[in-house]
Structure formats: C-alpha cells, structure tokens
Structure 1
Amino acid sequence: MNIYNKTVTILLVIFEAILIFTGFTALLQKDYEVFKLSLLAIFSILIPFILSLLAKKKKLNLPLSFQLFGIIFIFTAQYFGEIKNFYDYIWWWDLMLHGAFGSYMVITFLHLIKGIIRREIDITRKRYVMATSLFAFSFAVTLGTLWEIFEFSGDFMFNTGMVKGGLEDTMSDLIVKTTAALVTSSIYYFRKRNE
C-alpha cells in the first residue's frame, strides 16, 4: 500500500469514527435528526471507494485524488455542513463546496474521457478538445444536479433538512456549480486547443 492509499485509509477511518461517535451520542441524547444525518454520512462516505472499484473493473481512468476529494467533500458537507450547522453559520460554506464539486467533476471527467473516446486520425485537435470540454461540463452539471436530488430526497424521505432555504438554496447551488464547471472546462479548452 503506497503513501497515498495509506493517507486515504487513515482519513476514512478517522472520519468514520467521528461520524459513528456523533451518531451514537445523538442516539443517546434522542437527537434523531443528527442520528439520521450521521447514518447517511457513514454510508455516503463510502461512495468514492465504490465508484473507484467500478471504474477499475471497467478500466476507466479516475484522478489519483478521486477518493481523497470524495471523502473530504462528503465529510465537510455532511458533518460540518449539516451536523455542525456550518451552512447556517458560514454563509459561503455551501457555495464553496458546490463550486469545488463543479470544478473537480470536470477534472474527473477529463480523466474518464481518455478511456472512453479514442482519438481517430480524422478528428482535428480543436474538435477533440471541444468535445471533451463539452462532455466534461455536462458531466459536472449532471452530477451536481444529482447531488441536489440527493439532498431533496433525503429531506423528503427522512425529514433531514439538508435543503436550507428551499428553491433559493437549490438554485444558488446549481448556479455556482454550473459556473465553476463552465469556467474550468473553458480554461481546459483554451489551454489545450492549440497544443
């Protein structure tokens, strides 16, 4: 196991221990909202590892930092944002997380696209870069939208209160994510089109 894998594993164990302790404490205190949020986070934080395994089986390239980014994102969103109420106390917390998500999903897709699209001789460099930029943008926006659906579904099914401010919260999250994805994919396009 290399140093990166050890770091990710240690971080995962620390995050899971914090979430389990928080959930157990909440259950003892009969704080069922925090208990439900803790359970959701305990299982959600494993998603980057599941996605990495699926990608490996399909021989798709993910960024080396995919698992690390994933667990940090989920922990900061669920633990700090929801359980510790950073969304209420720090006005930009939610926007920062959604902006980081939008940018990182472009980076993730650019790694994935290498294994999906083969560059044929008749495809020009500019057309190839344009196609990958558009796909990366679409990928980021799609996953960002799925995250908003996840938040809404959690509120609807488990009454968790993840969506703060209703439509305004959801739309501002989508706008920030989409803008970050657009900027990141545009930077990629203008940097790579003439290489």
Structure 2
Amino acid sequence: MNRVSKITIVILLVFELVIMSIGLKAFWENRWKDLGLAALSMAALFVPYLINSLGNRMKLKLPPGFLPISFIFIFLTQYFGEIKKFYQTFWWWDLFLHGAFGALAVLFAIYVFNSSLKKRDQQLQKRFAIFIGIISFCFSVTCSSIWEIFEFVSDMILPEKMVKGGLEDTMTDLIMGAMAALITAIAYYFLGKSSGRVKENL
C-alpha cells in the first residue's frame, strides 16, 4: 500500500493555495489566460495522486517520496516555469526540467519493475538488469513524448505558448530527456553489475 503522509498532504495544499491565489487574482483582474493557466496547474497537481491511487488498486509499489517529488516537480514546471515565466527568463530552465524528468522517470520505472517482478538466480538478475534498463529508458522517453503532447494541446486550448520554439524546442526537449534517461539506465545497469546484483532501492 502506497500511503500518503501528512507532510505530502501539506505540500500539496500549500502548492494548491499558492496557485489558487494566482488564479483568483487573475479572475479579479479579468486576465483569463492566466486564470486558465492557474486552473491547468491546479489540475496537474492531482495527477500524481491519481497515479498513486491507481498503483494501490493494481497493487504496485511506488518509489518512496514519489508524491512529494512529483508535486515539487509539477510546481517547478507550472508555477515557476509558466506562471513566473522562468522559461523566458532562464534559457536552461526547460532543458533542466526535461533532463531531470528523463532521469526520474527511469528511476520510477526501475523501482516499480524491481518491486513487482521476482528474480531466481544471479544469471537471471544480470539479464533482468538489461531488460529493466531498456524498458525503463523506453518508459521515460514515452513520458517525455506525452509531456510534449500535453504542451502542444495546451497551446491549442489556451492562448499560452508552452512550445516556445516550435519543432526545435520540441526536439531539444526530447533529446535532453532521452539523454538523461539513457545515462540513468546505463548507470543502473553497471551499478547492478559491479555489485553483483540489481539494487532494488534505486
């Protein structure tokens, strides 16, 4: 069972209240674009909670700290990135987040697979490490692609340009996420190989 701690709930409530205050101010000042962005950000913060609930229903063990890390990451992308315009202020902000997302998605997949599947001998563990590394890399790249789709669809719904540089921005984000995912997956494999077993606590 993936429990939701009190600290996690506090983090979620604080983030929601901060964004809600932005939305209420935008509504009062008739800034409908900012209001829509605030509403989108508040909805996005509930996605990790839905994933956690789905994991409990499917009896999948999620990584420790999944919820607070997810909430913080979404807050960095939506509040600081979109609302506070960090994407325009710091050229590296978008690349940093995509790289971090690529690595975190690999670690997430590795933990879920290692917690769900069983290994019977050392030789199988080595093969298992290769399999998990490849599948986790693919999972991360898929999540990065879904992120780009989300940005594209958001640009169609809201008068907000999340995809700042068109095709170049999209491909740069995907490449950054894929590189971080690949490095993390390779590091996982060699870490497991050098220790003689797959680390389940990654």
TM-score range, shorter chain: over 0.9
Task: Note the C-alpha offset of 1:120.
Answer: 4.8
Superposition RMSD in Å: 1.5
User: Alpha-carbon deviations, 1:11-36, whole Å to 9, x = none?
Assistant: 11110001111001011111111111
Shift in Å, 1:104: 0.6
Q: Given residue 136 of structure 2, which amino acid in structure 1 is its aligned partner?
A: A
Q: TM-score, normalised by structure 2?
A: 0.90
Deviates more, 1:160-169 or 1:70-79: 160-169
Aligned to 1:33: 33
User: SS of the residue aligned with 1:30?
Assistant: coil
Indicate yes or no: 2:103 matched with 1:103. Answer: yes
Q: Does 1:63 align with 2:37?
A: no
- Cα separation, 2, equivalents of 1:139 and 1:118: 20
Query: Aligned partners of 2:23 and 2:15: how far apart in 1?
Result: 12
TM-score, normalization: structure 1?
Answer: 0.93
Check the 8 A contact 1:61/1:114 in 2, yes or no: no
Is the aligned partner of 1:138 residue 2:135?
A: no
Deviation at 1:10, TM superposition (A): 1.1
Aligned to 2:117: 117
Structure 1 unmatched runs, 5+: none
Equivalent residues in 2 for 1:104-183, closer than 5 Å = 104-120=104-120, 124-183=124-183
Moved more, 121-130 or 147-156: 121-130
Gaps of 5+ in 2: 197-202
The amino acid across from 1:15 in the alignment is F
Residue 172 of structure 2 aligns to which amino acid in structure 1?
S
Q: Secondary structure at the match of 2:5?
A: helix
User: In structure 1, what is the equivalent of residue 192 of structure 2?
Assistant: 192
Moved more, 141-150 or 121-130: 121-130
* Alignment: residue pair count: 192
1:82 aligns with: 82
